[in-house]
A and B are shown apart, each in its own frame.
Chain A
């Protein structure tokens, strides 16, 4: 994982003491829409306290529980999460590949292992599943293995190693070559946005007649699907740093079209 990119993201967008100016700009746009009585109370805006968010664990509650500062600024009625939890991506699926380095006899694997499905007439690969972490692997005769379903990079690697250990135990001279993350899918929760206004910007494709979400393709390799409720789905990143970078790019764009 690229620590420096994470730190940059964290400093910019999550750690409020360094990003207060940016937050203020965003929030000022929002505040002028609030009723007058709230604006009057809100003049001494001190911002959120710092939070130590542990990115290694993909736990959405981790960030919130460690804070001790008070929330001076009232959160808007319409947001579902506190500002500290917004824009925190949760990886839902990782697709990775590894080469086992030898030819495999899929019939033998299908006979000797419990957790497999093999229908050569339907598809020439064998499907193997693991209980922990809950993942699925497609194993080919050439020795290539595709692992799907892991929720973090470490889990993906562990799952791939477990699959290759199972195949090794069945008697094949297995190696663990060229492990590579091919694709990551993550979801993220933000604030409600106006898709109609966002669609006026470039790189946005919004066809309400076909799909309720808006596709943003302005970031190379990463495609983001944005829904009106503020839920994002990021697809295409190969590293976590790329994902955070993509979120960093989309955040100011979404802030401009925030909806009450």
Chain B
């Protein structure tokens, strides 16, 4: 394009055109080829409104994820493949891992914790999508401390704001029982058992344990181990199996023994004995030693046996209380409604029961002349015994922590009940906390001597 009004200084021609050489604008004379004028190599106009761009931003295409994040996601995939979960769980766990990894709570933690985080993401996705798996399995897979796994899990769930459903022990049982190498391929015939039968019986045992307070609040894996051990013994109660201890069973089945499992076995056997004693065709007393042979019958008729056992227990309590109730009623001079309390009776708790049972049974002596209210009796109980009576001993099934309380009951300091907070503080009381000048000197001297002797 020729520019009007411009003439070439070399030949005087007015035929000067714009010739952009690369990005440099130049005015060139067509006739002689000389450059009349040229612009800057980079036009100043281009920078209007722009800013300085750093090298990394001008050369980078997109932000790359860090190496540890990539490795973590690969670990998530590996864990999913080992557990053979479906693709939905795999995808969701990768998403959660991405989100959790980039949160400030996890971005700077150790690599070990990041690996645990990978396992926890898989765990939470399995829970959300109804795939039964325990935390113990994940800690085994990662070879990590279960406490650390628990800690990371809790934090992750809080950050991602998820409320995963709880696991049901009976659902996890099948997966757990597959870990036990107890089929005929692995062990001799007298010990072998099919996984299906084992699972079925163990599930029934766990359901019974759940009804009798053994499962709630406890770790599931020892319960499952105890259930599988008892069901293995009871499926073929020959002398080999009955003599086999839990430790030996774990060795045969090639699993790690959990210490609480022995306690769960004892508790389950107690419950089975209570029900076993209700079986009408069993003449001898059912004890923890011979209960294993009755397990099949107990589980088959467990609801009926439970009802019978509860009824028998109630009747026994009633009989027991009627005897002690008669004693306590005859001690009362006259029927009272307020202040006449029952004398401190060693069977005070059963007396309370007795009063209730007396009402229930509509005994003639227990109508209007009911001398004591339950609450007054309760006061007695509290004054004479523990603050709350041990109800675990009165019912047939109770949580073991109530039946065998280990903690000392809290005793309240009675003299500090009616403080207002603004009382006068006596000098003598305060002075008892302060050393006299002589004591302070002696203390300082002794301290110095002590430090000197330590140094030497």
Q: Which one of B136, B218, B359 lies within 8 Å of A74 (CB-CB)? A: B359
Q: Do residues A114 and B422 form an inter-chain contact, with CB atoms below 8 A? A: no
A contacts, CB < 8 Å to B? 35, 37-38, 41, 51, 56-61, 64-65, 67-71, 74-75, 77-82, 84-85, 90, 92, 111-115, 130, 132-134, 151-158, 161-162, 165-166, 169-170, 189, 192, 194-196, 199-200, 202, 205-210, 212-213, 227-229
Identify the closest chain B residue to A133 (Cβ): B416
CA distance A79 to B379 in the complex (A): 16
Q: Which one of A56, A210, A228 lies within 8 Å of B213 (CB-CB)? A: A228
Identify the closest chain A residue to B383 (Cβ): A61
6 pairs of residues in contact across A and B, judged by CB atoms under 8 Å: A61-B379, A71-B375, A151-B416, A161-B421, A166-B430, A210-B135
Q: Do residues B421 and A154 form an inter-chain contact, with CB atoms below 8 A? A: yes
Q: Which one of A71, A81, A165, A210 lies within 8 Å of B388 (CB-CB)? A: A81
Interface flag for B417 (CB, 8 Å): yes
Q: Do residues A112 and B412 form an inter-chain contact, with CB atoms below 8 A? A: no
Given the known interface contacts A228-B217, A229-B401, the answer about A206 and B166 at a Cβ–Cβ threshold of 8 Å is yes
Given the known interface contacts A71-B373, A112-B435, A166-B430, the answer about A213 and B217 at a Cβ–Cβ threshold of 8 Å is yes
In the complex, which residues of chain A have a beta carbon less than 8 angstroms from the beta carbon of B432? 114
In the complex, which residues of chain B have a beta carbon less than 8 angstroms from the beta carbon of A228? 213, 216-217, 399
Interface centre among B338, B378, B435 (most CB of A within 10 A): B378
Given the known interface contacts A166-B433, A208-B219, the answer about A75 and B421 at a Cβ–Cβ threshold of 8 Å is no
Mark the stretch among B8-16, B197-205, B389-397 that contacts chain A.
B389-397
Interface flag for B376 (CB, 8 Å): yes
Interface flag for B288 (CB, 8 Å): no
Interface flag for B56 (CB, 8 Å): no
Given the known interface contacts A68-B373, A165-B430, A207-B150, the answer about A78 and B395 at a Cβ–Cβ threshold of 8 Å is yes
Given contacts A196-B216, A210-B154, 17 further A-B contacts (CB under 8 A): A56-B418, A61-B383, A80-B390, A82-B374, A90-B412, A134-B413, A162-B425, A162-B430, A165-B425, A166-B430, A208-B217, A209-B135, A209-B146, A209-B219, A228-B213, A228-B216, A229-B402
Q: Do residues B391 and A169 form an inter-chain contact, with CB atoms below 8 A? A: no
CA distance A211 to B415 in the complex (A): 36
Q: Which one of A71, A114, A151, A205 lies within 8 Å of B374 (CB-CB)? A: A71
Interface flag for B434 (CB, 8 Å): yes
- Return the CB mask of B157-193 against A: 1 if under 8 Å, else 0: 1000001011010000000000000000000000000
Q: Do residues A169 and B430 form an inter-chain contact, with CB atoms below 8 A? A: yes
In the complex, which residues of chain A have a beta carbon less than 8 angstroms from the beta carbon of B440? 111-112
CA distance A71 to B97 in the complex (A): 58
Q: Do residues A70 and B337 form an inter-chain contact, with CB atoms below 8 A? A: yes
Q: Do residues A212 and B217 form an inter-chain contact, with CB atoms below 8 A? A: yes
Task: Give chain A's interface secondary structure class.
Answer: loop
- Return the CB mask of B434-447 against A: 1 if under 8 Å, else 0: 11000010011000
In the complex, which residues of chain B have a beta carbon less than 8 angstroms from the beta carbon of A165? 425, 430
* Total count of chain B residues near the partner, CB < 8 A: 71
Q: Do residues B394 and A115 form an inter-chain contact, with CB atoms below 8 A? A: no
In the complex, which residues of chain B have a beta carbon less than 8 angstroms from the beta carbon of A132? 415-416
Count of chain A to chain B residue pairs whose CB atoms are closer than 8 Å in the complex:
176
Q: Do residues B218 and A41 form an inter-chain contact, with CB atoms below 8 A? A: no
Q: Which one of A59, A192, A199 lies within 8 Å of B412 (CB-CB)? A: A59
Q: Do residues B431 and A169 form an inter-chain contact, with CB atoms below 8 A? A: yes
In the complex, which residues of chain A have a beta carbon less than 8 angstroms from the beta carbon of B434? 112-114, 166, 169-170
CA distance A64 to B412 in the complex (A): 17
In the complex, which residues of chain B have a beta carbon less than 8 angstroms from the beta carbon of A81? 378, 388
Given the known interface contacts A68-B373, A75-B356, the answer about A209 and B136 at a Cβ–Cβ threshold of 8 Å is yes
B contacts, CB < 8 Å to A? 134-136, 146, 150, 153-154, 157, 163, 165-166, 168, 213, 216-221, 311, 314, 337-338, 353, 356, 359-360, 362, 370, 373-376, 378-379, 382-383, 387-391, 394-395, 398-399, 401-402, 410, 412-413, 415-423, 425, 429-435, 440, 443-444
In the complex, which residues of chain A have a beta carbon less than 8 angstroms from the beta carbon of B419? 133, 152, 154-155, 158
Q: Do residues B217 and A227 form an inter-chain contact, with CB atoms below 8 A? A: yes
Identify the closest chain B residue to A41 (Cβ): B360
CA distance A189 to B378 in the complex (A): 15
In the complex, which residues of chain A have a beta carbon less than 8 angstroms from the beta carbon of B360? 37-38, 41, 74
Identify the closest chain B residue to A194 (Cβ): B216
Q: Do residues B425 and A161 form an inter-chain contact, with CB atoms below 8 A? A: yes
Given the known interface contacts A75-B374, A169-B434, the answer about A212 and B416 at a Cβ–Cβ threshold of 8 Å is no
Identify the closest chain A residue to B396 (Cβ): A77
CA distance A161 to B422 in the complex (A): 8
Given the known interface contacts A155-B421, A169-B434, the answer about A209 and B402 at a Cβ–Cβ threshold of 8 Å is no
Q: Which one of A69, A189, A199 lies within 8 Å of B373 (CB-CB)? A: A69
Q: Which one of A56, A113, A209 lies within 8 Å of B433 (CB-CB)? A: A113
Q: Which one of B153, B166, B374, B388 lies within 8 Å of A80 (CB-CB)? A: B388
B298, chain A: closest CB distance, angstroms = 21
Interface centre among B150, B314, B388 (most CB of A within 10 A): B388
Q: Do residues B413 and A114 form an inter-chain contact, with CB atoms below 8 A? A: no
CA distance A153 to B362 in the complex (A): 48
Q: Do residues B165 and A200 form an inter-chain contact, with CB atoms below 8 A? A: yes
Q: Do residues A115 and B433 form an inter-chain contact, with CB atoms below 8 A? A: yes
Given the known interface contacts A156-B421, A158-B421, A208-B220, the answer about A67 and B163 at a Cβ–Cβ threshold of 8 Å is no
Identify the closest chain A residue to B338 (Cβ): A68
A31, chain B: closest CB distance, angstroms = 14
In the complex, which residues of chain B have a beta carbon less than 8 angstroms from the beta carbon of A37? 360
Q: Do residues A114 and B435 form an inter-chain contact, with CB atoms below 8 A? A: yes
